[in-house]
Structure 1
Amino acid sequence: MDTHTDLWLAASIVVMSLLLSAFFAGAETAFTAASRARMLSLEDSGDLRARVVNRILASRERFIGAMLIGYNIVAIGASAFTTSVLTTIFGKSGVLYATGVMSVLVIVFAEVLPKTLAINKPDQAALVMARPVAFAVALLGPAAIAIEKVVRLMLRPFGISIGQHQSILSPTEEIRGQVALLHREGGVAKAERDMLGGLLDLHELSVSEVMVHRTKMRTINADLPSEEIVREVLSSPYTRMPLWRGTSENIIGVLHAKDLLRALDAAGGDASGLKVEALALETWFVPDTTSLRDQLKAFLTKKTHFALVVDEYGEVMGLVTLEDILEEIVGDIADEHDVAVSGVRPQGDGSVNADGSVAIRDLNRAMDWNLPDEEATTIAGLVIHEARAIPDTGTAFNFHGFRFQVLRKAKNRITALRITPLVPMIAKKDEIEG
């Protein structure tokens, strides 16, 4: 009778140990795979279980150590009691039976099954197991810390340092990778991906990369008669116009169309008596190395939308507006007064005809390409950088997976190019030859 009772007790311990093994294995998988963003959101909305999950994950090393210790203790216990039960029944051959039986039970019921269930719905599993896991971590955490210290001491003579779990990727790169993955899986549309990518890029881009170059700036000579200045402002698609005197680089102020129209209305429509220079706003100069993120904050702080960009010598390089920065996030912003010239013209054969002045980032966004923009801002600049020369009309180059052919050139400027992806060309050639 005692032997029969002992067998049932040992079998019960084995079953309980397997259940605990499944709990520890599933908890480790669920908590590791759970979304930190979702848990933080649930905690902010008042979910107490999510708060427990976040508190546990804040000490990830202690949590993992506790789960491993718990799993190994109960797994070893289950194996020991199973061996005891089967040797009592079958004698010495029971050791072999115990090995086979426990291998199947542990692999199926204590490893594969709980981890599969947990990985399918990690957030829900983590919330359900939050309080039991918190109890287990509180119970086994001190042992995990002690074991970790012993391991550190054992590895120190070999020059191996543990506990430094800083990610190789920066948080920005990790977010960018997650967004790209969601886009490939269909969870994020291309426009949304581009907006998020543009937002993450603000600290990496400078105002010199998005500014309107001084050769394309629309400015007004302050010495012109006031009537002519009014006509210039009314014919311009822009509301803010830099005023210059003497030379175009000598900017003395910025004229706002609304201020001019108010003054014109106060003068009864007579522009001859207007003192335009007195209406001009003070010019705001910013260094060309200013990041877009800093410039955006500066625009919001100063409550203005317009600044002139200068180089290290104080020479005017161009102008930047709030709209220029916003377009880096949301894409091109067009209104009824904008000149609809994109400079990108897709062709029927898969190639693209582009103006040399088109920004690489704009082309990448429009065509969903990934041309590098670290060494050059425009397509023409990229070709010149790669060719190490200013190529002649008709010259073609292959680099970065594309074929670049110069279509037009004006003096030392490349004004038009044809860009053709090489991969579709190769695939088409193979299809014809096949």
Structure 2
Amino acid sequence: MSLDWTLIGPVLMIIGLLCLSAFFSGSETSLTATSRARMLQMERDKHPGAAVVNKLIGDGESLLGSILLGNNLVNIAASMIAGQLFEDLLGGNSVLWATLIMTFTVLIFAEVLPKTYALSNPDRFALTVARPILLAVKVFAPVVRAVQVVVRGTLRIFGANVEGPVLSAHDELRGAIALHHEEGGVVKDDRDMLGGVLDLRELTVDDIMVHRKSILMIDADKKPEEIVTEALHSPHTRLPLYREDTENIVGILHVRDIARALHEADGDASVIDIDALRREPWFVPETTEVLDQLNAFREKREHFALVVDEYGALMGLVTLEDILEEIVGAIEDEHDIAVEGIQPDNENGSWLVDGAVPIRDLNRALDWELPDEEAVTIAGLVIHEAQTIPERGQVFQFHGARFEVVERRRNQITRLRVSVSPDELDAL
């Protein structure tokens, strides 16, 4: 019994083309699913093939264009050969049978099967196919460039913007952190710390500064012993000195300098020369980015700066600790004054919140997403949304939260009761 090579030849060609189609399909899935960060680390560890994978991922448009071109070429070629084979075998019904069988075969063996495996083992698959795919990219490069020109030109006709990445590197990192947190791979504290690092460039010092109302200052015209007593009883190590007007800051007094001078004076505070101890104040604009201020602290080896507005008026102060707290959360030592900020209330799972609590701190504590573009504190947010200074007992609902004014002093909201909006609870 002799083999009919007129049938075996086309069948072998179809099988070979389907294998190529599976290769391109699996490669597409693995190279798009693999972690670029993981591959970068593998490249630094001199893992063979990782550099090629990173090179391919770096030019995603050419990579996908070459894979799609190769995949379509082999699928079309396989379909044409199958159509001719079925026409020789079946005659008039060849088109229907060829379409049904090739669709089923391509779907199972050239699409679903390789992509399923590649999705389960993206790094291993990507490292295996990297060099052959790189060769395909180089071979198909002229055609892919021509296709890119046509595609971009067509999209521009319809007003579509195809330049640049959709997400910045910071946005991609935020998305990855949020995804891992939802999947349980990153705990809330770690997520907040990582997010705090990314937020430093988006914040200015007026977002995190201590407001001038809360600054503890010392009158430089007081007697030396009075100044020393006030400084040593203060919970802070650095204190601004003013003369005549609190806007007129003449220097910064460091408690360590006072202690040294007090020791040299054998404990007699009245003979201490305060003017000789005071340091020059450092003023920074309120629009300074927090990351730039952090770098400035490191360069000047300072931990304390006064914040002024565009007219030179004192707005507040910022310390190195304030910046670090944006990353790691509140830092309290044995000398910190216990400040009532956010505490649970017994009524319906609500919280009592001081009006001066920053929105960012409330978001971090309660895992909320209240906007902080128009206001820094929670009281400021309520006033901004209400477009008025609310009275005690007034209730507002916005941004998925409920706010009740509990205390008000003059024009300042000092305490609120906050909770999830009833509408949001009904939707859960």
TM norm. shorter chain > 0.5 = yes
Give the distance between the partners of 1:127 and 1:13, measured in 2 at CA.
27
Structure 2 match to 1:125: 125
Structure 1 match to 2:251: 253
Going from structure 1 to structure 2, the CA distance change for 1:52 and 1:425 (only over 3 Å counts) comes to closer
Q: Is the 8 A contact 2:86 2:98 kept in 1?
A: yes
Structure 1 match to 2:199: 201
Going from structure 1 to structure 2, the CA distance change for 1:282 and 1:203 (only over 3 Å counts) comes to same
Structure 2 match to 1:359: 358
TM-score normalised by length of structure 2:
0.94
Give the distance between the partners of 1:254 and 1:78, measured in 2 at CA.
81
TM-score normalised by length of structure 1:
0.93
Going from structure 1 to structure 2, the CA distance change for 1:263 and 1:194 (only over 3 Å counts) comes to same
SS of 1:85 mapped into structure 2: helix
- How far does the alpha carbon of each residue in 1:204-260 deviate from its partner, in whole angstroms, 9 at most, with x for none? 211112111111111111122222222212111111111111122211111111111
The answer to whether 1:268 aligns with 2:266 is: yes
Shift of 1:170: 3.1
Give the distance between the partners of 2:278 and 2:90, measured in 1 at CA.
101
Give the distance between the partners of 1:342 and 1:298, measured in 2 at CA.
31
Residue identity over aligned pairs, in percent, reads 51
Shift of 1:85: 2.9
Q: Is the 8 A contact 1:220 1:229 kept in 2?
A: yes
Shift of 1:425: 7.8
- How far does the alpha carbon of each residue in 1:289-309 deviate from its partner, in whole angstroms, 9 at most, with x for none? 111111111111111000001
Farther off after superposition, 12-21 or 414-423: 414-423
Going from structure 1 to structure 2, the CA distance change for 1:409 and 1:166 (only over 3 Å counts) comes to same
Shift of 1:383: 1.3
- How far does the alpha carbon of each residue in 1:254-286 deviate from its partner, in whole angstroms, 9 at most, with x for none? 111111111221222222211011111110001
Give unpaired runs (5+ residues) of structure 2.
none
Going from structure 1 to structure 2, the CA distance change for 1:163 and 1:206 (only over 3 Å counts) comes to closer
Q: Is the 8 A contact 1:65 1:144 kept in 2?
A: yes
Going from structure 1 to structure 2, the CA distance change for 1:26 and 1:152 (only over 3 Å counts) comes to same
Structure 2 match to 1:176: 174
The answer to whether 1:391 aligns with 2:407 is: no
Give the distance between the partners of 2:62 and 2:416, measured in 1 at CA.
59
Shift of 1:138: 1.9
The answer to whether 1:6 aligns with 2:9 is: no
Going from structure 1 to structure 2, the CA distance change for 1:91 and 1:119 (only over 3 Å counts) comes to same
Give the distance between the partners of 2:387 and 2:239, measured in 1 at CA.
37
Q: Is the 8 A contact 1:406 1:418 kept in 2?
A: yes
Structure 2 match to 1:243: 241
Aligned residue type for 1:100: L
Aligned residue type for 1:230: V
- How far does the alpha carbon of each residue in 1:292-330 deviate from its partner, in whole angstroms, 9 at most, with x for none? 111111111111000001111111111110000111111
- How far does the alpha carbon of each residue in 1:331-373 deviate from its partner, in whole angstroms, 9 at most, with x for none? 1011111112241111232111111111111111111111111
Structure 1 match to 2:301: 303
**How many residues were matched structurally?**
427
Aligned residue type for 1:53: V
Aligned residue type for 1:371: L
Give the distance between the partners of 1:179 and 1:280, measured in 2 at CA.
45
Q: Of 328, 331, 336, which aligns to 2:329? A: 331
Matches within 5 A, 1:32-431: 32-150=32-150, 155=154, 159-160=157-158, 164-348=162-346, 349-423=348-422, 426-427=425-426
Shift of 1:90: 3.2
Give the distance between the partners of 2:177 and 2:140, measured in 1 at CA.
37
Shift of 1:79: 1.7
Q: Is the 8 A contact 1:311 1:317 kept in 2?
A: yes
SS of 2:317 mapped into structure 1: strand
SS of 2:202 mapped into structure 1: coil
Q: Is the 8 A contact 1:152 1:161 kept in 2?
A: no
Give the distance between the partners of 1:346 and 1:335, measured in 2 at CA.
23
Q: Is the 8 A contact 2:152 2:162 kept in 1?
A: no
Going from structure 1 to structure 2, the CA distance change for 1:115 and 1:165 (only over 3 Å counts) comes to farther
Q: Is the 8 A contact 1:205 1:291 kept in 2?
A: yes
Aligned residue type for 1:384: I
SS of 2:376 mapped into structure 1: coil
Give the distance between the partners of 2:287 and 2:59, measured in 1 at CA.
40
Going from structure 1 to structure 2, the CA distance change for 1:152 and 1:375 (only over 3 Å counts) comes to closer
Give the distance between the partners of 1:171 and 1:152, measured in 2 at CA.
24
Going from structure 1 to structure 2, the CA distance change for 1:361 and 1:268 (only over 3 Å counts) comes to same
SS of 2:97 mapped into structure 1: helix
Give the distance between the partners of 1:163 and 1:127, measured in 2 at CA.
33
C-alpha RMSD over aligned residues = 2.2
Give the distance between the partners of 2:30 and 2:425, measured in 1 at CA.
45
Farther off after superposition, 302-311 or 79-88: 79-88
Q: Is the 8 A contact 1:63 1:141 kept in 2?
A: no
Farther off after superposition, 313-322 or 5-14: 5-14
Give the distance between the partners of 2:160 and 2:60, measured in 1 at CA.
14
Going from structure 1 to structure 2, the CA distance change for 1:147 and 1:408 (only over 3 Å counts) comes to closer
Q: Is the 8 A contact 2:341 2:357 kept in 1?
A: yes
SS of 2:246 mapped into structure 1: coil
Farther off after superposition, 113-122 or 78-87: 78-87
Farther off after superposition, 77-86 or 158-167: 158-167
Give unpaired runs (5+ residues) of structure 1.
none
Q: Is the 8 A contact 2:49 2:131 kept in 1?
A: yes
Give the distance between the partners of 2:190 and 2:62, measured in 1 at CA.
38
- How far does the alpha carbon of each residue in 1:136-156 deviate from its partner, in whole angstroms, 9 at most, with x for none? 222222222234345556x38
Going from structure 1 to structure 2, the CA distance change for 1:29 and 1:315 (only over 3 Å counts) comes to same
Going from structure 1 to structure 2, the CA distance change for 1:380 and 1:95 (only over 3 Å counts) comes to closer
